[in-house]
């Protein structure tokens, strides 16, 4: 059967690109919708995006089979191209022709390596799910059909990095060790622990940006944020997040640590597949009973003092008081031994693995 690969240049073809994911997951037990899909309409109209990225769709007998975005990052990963927004039926031939077209464009952009899936940069949605398909997907974490890894392996991609997810529920008691570490951290001289203040986003953006860029600088793939980008992230959170689940620690008035937990809005996206009505009303907020601990960072000079344990326990205790029943702590890099140990010490089991792939081109 003939296979055609087209570049997405019209709204009608963009609709086909987006509809493919709905077809792939139409019988999914979780009713999954890819987290980044409802950004595509806005991104497609952005001249900056269209200059540094291309969307491609593979068709078999004029029916969408596979899709991908080829992405370049100016001033970041200069020799590496990204493949994002990847979705496909189990069709190696069609996916291969799709990737061949996308990779040729990245070669023309002077890239010699490709990594993926990455949408839209390495601070956002990365990798494919390789273990934990029976677990509920959380917002802004990879979820896909089990055959995705096989597709990528068959097309010559190899492991680049692995990431883990841990699960918490109310039946998991805090370990004595983690409780003691947390109590000791509370006694640090000059320590102030507080919630994010969404009414002062400019000030908070400065603080959060400082903590993230210092604490994440050694993390694989971390792309430093500007204060404007941090403001945009926090502004987005304001529409659906609980400020009491977003913790900032200062020591002697210096930004020291941050823990950002976001409600799992995936169940709501099933009701509003074209995008949530933000800001969420209280009735909709009450429908969310799980959350994701998405960011946990400590400025290097304040590490090894128990701040991670303090923030995790504060977040979980606050969540319990608000009626949350479960959470996912993700995505933790496989080589982040300290963070993996801290989370394991809380008693939370590892439930998922994710893999980022790479290939020389």
Query: Is 351 part of any domain?
Result: no
Verify that 138 and 268 share a domain, yes or no.
no
Task: Based on the fold, state whether residues 158 and 189 are members of the same structural domain.
Answer: no
What is the per-residue pLDDT for 203?
96
Largest CA distance in the chain: 70
By the 8 A CB rule, do 116 and 84 touch?
yes
Supply the CATH number for residue 53's domain.
3.40.630.30
Query: Do 148 and 289 belong together in one domain?
Result: no
Assess whether 135 and 206 both reside in one domain: no
**Which of 99, 129, 163 represents a domain boundary (last residue)?**
163
31 and 141 share a domain? yes
pTM for the whole thing?
0.92
Condensed to tens digits (0 to 9), the pLDDT of residues 165-180 reads: 999 999 888 888 899 9
16 and 127, same domain (yes or no): yes
Number of structural domains the chain divides into: 2
Domain membership flag for residue 353: no
Q: How many residues does the chain have?
A: 361
User: Is 135 in the same domain as 34?
Assistant: yes
Residue 84 lies in a domain: yes
Domain end marker among 133, 163, 193: 163
Domain of 277, in residue numbers: 173-345
Write 39-45 long-range contacts (CB < 8 A, 24+).
39/120, 40/14, 40/85, 41/14, 43/120, 44/8, 44/11, 44/14
Q: Does residue 294 share a domain with residue 253?
A: yes
pLDDT at 246: 97
What DSSP character marks residue 39? G
Closest by Cα among 21, 15, 13 to 85: 21
Crossing angle of the two packed helices 307-321 and 176-186, in degrees rounded to 10: 100
Q: Is residue 355 within 8 Å of residue 158, measured between CB atoms?
A: no
pLDDT of residue 74: 63
In a domain, 158, yes or no: yes
pLDDT digits (tens, 9 = 90+) for 12-21: 999 999 999 9
CB atoms within 10 A of CB 346: 22
Residues of the chain with pLDDT under 50: none
Question: Which residue matches tokens 């992405």?
Answer: 71
Handedness of CA 30, 5, 128, 125 (dihedral sign): negative
Residue 124 lies in a domain: yes
Let me know whether 192 and 303 are in one domain.
yes
Residues 101 and 179 grouped into a single domain: no
For 305-344, how does the pLDDT look when each residue is reduced to its tens digit (9 = 90+)? 999 999 999 999 999 999 999 999 999 999 999 899 999 9
User: Phi then psi for 169, rounded to 5 degrees?
Assistant: -140, 170
Query: Is 360 part of any domain?
Result: no
CA distances from 59 to 67, 87, 116 (A): 9, 13, 21
Q: What is the pLDDT of residue 173?
A: 86
Q: What is residue 46's three-state secondary structure?
A: coil
pLDDT computed for residue 182 by the predictor:
95
Query: Does a structural domain hold residue 82?
Result: yes
| Whole-Å CA distances, 142 to 6, 178, 230, 287, 302 | 25, 29, 22, 22, 31
What number of helices (H) and strands (E) belong to the chain?
A: 12, 15
What is the phi-psi region of residue 186: left when phi exceeds 0, alpha when psi lies from -120 to 50, beta otherwise?
alpha
Nearest residue to 359 (alpha-carbon basis) of 99, 125, 91? 99
Residue 356 lies in a domain: no
Which burial class, exposed, middle or buried, applies to 226 when counting CB atoms under 10 A from its CB (0-12, 13-18, 19+)? exposed
Query: Same structural domain for residues 12 and 159?
Result: yes
Same domain (yes/no): 258, 286: yes
């Amino acid at each position: 059967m003939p296979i055609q690969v087209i570049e997405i240049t019209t709204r009608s073809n963009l609709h086909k690109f987006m509809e493919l994911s709905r077809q792939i997951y139409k019988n999914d037990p979780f009713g999954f919708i890819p987290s980044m899909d409802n950004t595509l309409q806005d991104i497609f109209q952005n001249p900056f995006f269209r200059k540094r990225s291309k969307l491609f769709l593979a068709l078999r007998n004029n029916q969408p089979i596979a899709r991908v975005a080829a992405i370049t990052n100016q001033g970041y990963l200069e020799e590496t191209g990204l493949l994002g927004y990847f979705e496909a039926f189990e069709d190696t031939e069609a996916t291969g022709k799709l990737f061949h077209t996308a990779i040729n464009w990245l070669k023309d952009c002077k890239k010699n390596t490709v990594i993926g899936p990455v949408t839209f940069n390495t601070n956002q949605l990365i990798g494919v799910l390789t273990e934990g398909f029976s677990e509920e997907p959380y917002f802004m974490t990879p979820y896909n059909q089990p055959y995705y890894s096989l597709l990528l392996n068959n097309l010559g991609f190899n492991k680049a990095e692995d990431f883990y997810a841990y699960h918490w529920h109310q039946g998991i008691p805090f370990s004595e060790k983690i409780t003691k570490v947390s109590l000791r951290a509370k006694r640090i001289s000059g320590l102030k622990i507080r919630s994010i203040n969404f009414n002062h986003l400019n000030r908070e953006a400065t603080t959060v940006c400082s903590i993230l860029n210092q604490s994440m600088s050694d993390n694989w793939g971390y792309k430093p944020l500007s204060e404007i980008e941090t403001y945009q992230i926090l502004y987005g959170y304001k529409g659906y997040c609980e400020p009491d689940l977003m913790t900032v620690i200062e020591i002697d008035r210096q930004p020291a640590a941050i823990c950002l937990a976001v409600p799992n809005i995936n169940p709501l996206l099933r009701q509003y597949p074209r995008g949530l009505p933000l800001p969420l009303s209280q009735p909709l907020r009450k429908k969310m009973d799980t959350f994701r601990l998405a960011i946990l960072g400590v400025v290097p000079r304040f590490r090894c003092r128990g701040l991670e344990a303090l923030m995790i326990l504060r977040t979980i205790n606050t969540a319990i008081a608000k009626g949350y029943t479960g959470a996912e702590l993700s995505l933790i890099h496989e080589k982040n031994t300290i963070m993996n140990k801290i989370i394991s010490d809380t008693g939370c089991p590892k439930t998922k693995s994710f893999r980022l792939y790479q290939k020389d081109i």
